[in-house]
Amino acid sequence: MSVPSIGFLLTIGTILLCGISIYREPRRFRNAIYLLLLCASVSILLTEVFQTPLFLALILIGIPFSIIIFIGFLLGNCIVLIRREGLSASTVLPGLCAIAIIALIVLFAYVLSSSPSLWLIACTFGLCSEGAYAGITFTAYALYSALYRRIPKHADYAYVIIHGAGLSGSEPTPLLAGRIDKGAEVWQACSPDTKIIVSGGKGSDEVVSEAQAMETYLIEHYPIPREVIVKEDRSRTTMENLVYSKEIMDRLSGEAPYRCAVVTSDYHVMRAAIYAHRQGIDADGIGSKTARYYVPTAFIREFVAISKAHKWPYIVIVLIWAIMLILSLLPW
């Protein structure tokens, strides 16, 4: 009887780890890491099955080529954004990310090809470590976000929360209109007693609250009774959307348990679902379609926000780097 290979055991183990974790709670950031580990295990298994240096070479060559393609994609997307949306901090974000990746590659190549000082080596190691972790987790988050949006959702909810976005005067922007349309679609598949919570406060440059604009849009475009719409017009952030909406749902439901849908743009679904889990809300994240050219910069912002909420690995990397630097400077 042959002994199972390492790749086979790793694949079975990560399938169980990923599957059980997603089944227990799909709204966790760790699921993204488990999914990436599963992909890596499958790659190891395939390398063992094919038993050819060519397959391994394709993987090793594919990594740098993927980085080059990603840089080109970011630069191209930056140009498209500026042409469509104008020059702003948001539209140049993909280009800045591409420049940062190029700078890390150039710095790493310089350190390898010269005899730099210990400080430059240490700084390069620290920056590349942080960059590598960011790249790995970005890939994992992107893969799992795509998977989460395809996980079957419940057909009936007690509440449908529609997250606000920007307004154009007193009218919803196309981005917000897409969220409202999706929220109305979800509500129409539920029972007539389901409440719609339109969530969004009034920005300093807005003439009405986002909640008010969403309510008006729903009544004008859909046969939705005004009495099923509840306005939450205090929130300014995604977390506040959920905190204040939870207060409303708890008040309306009393002691009775409830389940809700959190409707937002597709790129924003995963973060909204993770935040809902943190607030103890039994919810499914449901996304509306977004213009393709806008998704990369929006998703980068999402990743930055989720990284801030899960910043401890970055802190650990800095601590390890500092300890290694101190040890290297000690007179042994």
Please measure the distance between the N-terminal and C-terminal CA atoms of the chain and give it in whole angstroms: 52
Give the CA dihedral 139, 141, 142, 143, nearest 10 degrees: 80
Q: Which of 168, 157, 146 is nearest to 295 (CA)?
A: 146
Closest CA to 26 of 247, 268, 269: 269
Is 60 or 293 the better-scoring residue by pLDDT? 293
Residues in contact with 194: Cβ distance below 8 Å, sequence separation at least 6, in sequence order:
156, 157, 158, 159, 160, 187, 228
pLDDT exceeds cutoff 70 at 3: no
320 vs 47, which has greater pLDDT? Answer: 320
For 257-272, letters b (16+ CB in 10 Å) and e give ebebbbbbbbbbbbbb
Spatial separation of the C-alpha atoms in residues 118 and 131, rounded to whole Å? 20
Closest CA relative to residue 268, chosen from 285, 280, 254, 282: 285
What is the Cα–Cα distance from 39 to 31, expressed in whole angstroms?
12
170-209 burial, b if ≥16 CB within 10 A, otherwise e?
eebeebbbbbbbbbbebbeebeeebbbbbbbbbeeebebb
Position 53 scores a pLDDT of 64
pTM of the model: 0.87
Mean pLDDT rounded to a whole number for the chain: 88
Residue 3 in tokens: 């002994």
State the number of CA atoms in the 13 A half-sphere of 4 facing the CB. 9
Average pLDDT over residues 83-95: 87
Q: Residues in the chain, how many? A: 332
Q: Which residues face 209 on adjacent strands?
A: none
Residue-wise pLDDT for 12-63, tens only, equals 999 999 999 999 999 999 999 999 999 888 888 887 777 766 666 666 777 7
Give the β-pairing of 260-265 and 159-163: parallel
pLDDT (tens digit per residue) in 96-126: 999 999 999 999 888 888 877 777 888 888 8
DSSP structure string for 46-103 = HHHHHT-HHHHHHHHHHHHHHHHHHHHHHHHHHHHHHHHH-SSTTTTHHHHHHHHHHH
Domains, the chain, ranges and CATH?
6-148 (no CATH), 159-290 (3.40.50.620)
